[in-house]
Chains A and B, each alone.
Chain A
Amino acid sequence: DTGVSQDPRHKITKRGQNVTFRCDPISEHNRLYWYRQTLGQGPEFLTYFQNEAQLEKSRLLSDRFSAERPKGSFSTLEIQRTEQGDSAMYLCASSEVDRNTEAFFGQGTRLTVV
């Protein structure tokens, strides 16, 4: 297993466009998390899934953001009508349920809205 995989690594988009990011977790992990990180700050929680169920959403996740994990495997994060303030690194993490819940992160998707 190669760890948590995110695609794309970089995305530049014009303000107002929609973007979608993908995350493939470690295969046996049934928990999947999305975080957002701006320059010089620690990551901030956005949402998490257990299998296909979205169990928690942060208030940071405005109605322009939607996340899915349709078959309990990979997940997508979509941002509609992007704004310059959405520019950030979007990080995905996964963990197991029944063990020590150590979280493993992907390399992130760097979004720049111009």
Chain B
Amino acid sequence: KQEVTQIPAALSVPEGENLVLNCSFTDSAIYNLQWFRQDPGKGLTSLLLIQSSQREQTSGRLNASLDKSSGRSTLYIAASQPGDSATYLCAVRETSGSRLTFGEGTQLTVNP
């Protein structure tokens, strides 16, 4: 059974800092990995999707990497801003079209 773990569970940083969120998964036979953002009481916003054949994806200040063989992904946020404060979730998909298995998220607070 696939298990996804995110470390740390919570992170508080001053504005402007670069930071890394970690995601690990137990079964490396994944189809893709997706990073989401969730604001309190809201749904999930897709940030980045990495296919199993890719090593990284970038969108603006966000960069996600994937090391499938070791079962790890990282989300790098450059020059953090208070508006980045949210919970960040990673999820893996094991086969095309199948369910996503989520981690429990990292709650990020960026202080002005």
* B-binding residues in A (CB < 8 A): 4, 6, 31, 33, 35, 40-45, 48, 50, 56, 58, 91, 93, 95, 97, 100-108, 110
For residue B105, which residues in chain A have a CB less than 8 angstroms away from its CB? 42
Considering only CB atoms and an 8 Å cut-off, how many residues of chain B contact the other chain?
Answer: 26
Alpha-carbon distance A103/B49, docked complex (angstroms): 9
Q: State whether A56 touches B102 (Cβ < 8 A).
A: no
B112 at the interface (CB under 8 A from A): no
Q: State whether B43 touches A105 (Cβ < 8 A).
A: yes
10 new A-B contacts at CB < 8 Å, known A44-B102, A101-B31: A33-B100, A40-B104, A42-B91, A42-B102, A43-B44, A48-B97, A91-B44, A103-B91, A108-B43, A110-B41
* A-binding residues in B (CB < 8 A): 4, 31-32, 34, 36, 41-46, 49, 51, 89, 91, 93, 96-105
For residue A6, which residues in chain B have a CB less than 8 angstroms away from its CB? 43
Alpha-carbon distance A101/B105, docked complex (angstroms): 21
Q: State whether B32 touches A100 (Cβ < 8 A).
A: yes
| Residues A102 and B34 in contact in the complex (CB < 8 Å), given A45-B99, A108-B43 | yes
Min CB distance B48 to A, Å, is: 9
- B interface SS class: strand
For residue B42, which residues in chain A have a CB less than 8 angstroms away from its CB? 107-108
The 7 closest A-B pairs by CB, nearest first: A42-B102, A105-B44, A45-B99, A107-B43, A102-B49, A105-B43, A108-B43
Alpha-carbon distance A105/B5, docked complex (angstroms): 21
